[in-house]
Amino acid sequence: MSVLTIVLISFVALEHFYFLVLEMFFWTTPKGIKSFGLKSKAFAEDTKVLAANQGLYNGFLAAGLVLSVLLNAIYFSFFFLSCVIFAGIYGAYSTKNIKLFYIQSFPGLLALAALSFL
């Protein structure tokens, strides 16, 4: 893998680790509520178990990406980046918030392009 590819994949992994932290530990805080555009503190409290579960999945994506870089496993990188991209597309579609695509899928697409063409 090229240095650019490793940097981009690492960025996507760090981004998903950050999502894990936000969703598992800061969902009901002002930072979490603002980051995800939640309706209210009460809504955040009612959905915190769901958010923690979602955060755990983001952690699995981050771990897979880190492992793929450490093992120089291009097929693992391809798989986990594809998961990230599709999750971002579905998130943007299901929430009607295109910002999710740009935050989650676009970095994954850049990393996948670097993986495929460099």
Q: Where are the domains of the chain?
A: 3-117
What are all long-range contacts of 110-113, with beta carbons under 8 Å and residues at least 24 apart? Answer: 110/8, 111/5, 111/8, 111/9, 111/11, 111/12, 111/77, 111/81, 112/78, 112/81, 112/82, 112/85
For residue 80 the two structure tokens come to: 């986990």
8 Å CB contact between 13 and 62? yes
- pTM listed for this prediction: 0.91
- In terms of C-beta density within 10 A (0-12 exposed, 13-18 middle, 19 or more buried), how is residue 61 classed? buried
Would the pLDDT of 118 be above 80? no
Could you tell me what percent of the chain has a pLDDT over 90? Answer: 92
Q: Give the helix ranges, DSSP H, for the chain.
A: 3-25, 30-35, 41-70, 74-95, 99-100, 106-117
| Average pLDDT of every residue of the chain | 95
| pLDDT value of position 1 | 87
Q: What is the pLDDT of residues 57-108, one digit of tens each?
A: 999 999 999 999 999 999 999 999 999 999 999 999 999 999 999 999 999 9
Tell me what the mean pLDDT of segment 3-26 comes to.
97
| pLDDT value of position 117 | 87
Would the pLDDT of 49 be above 80? yes
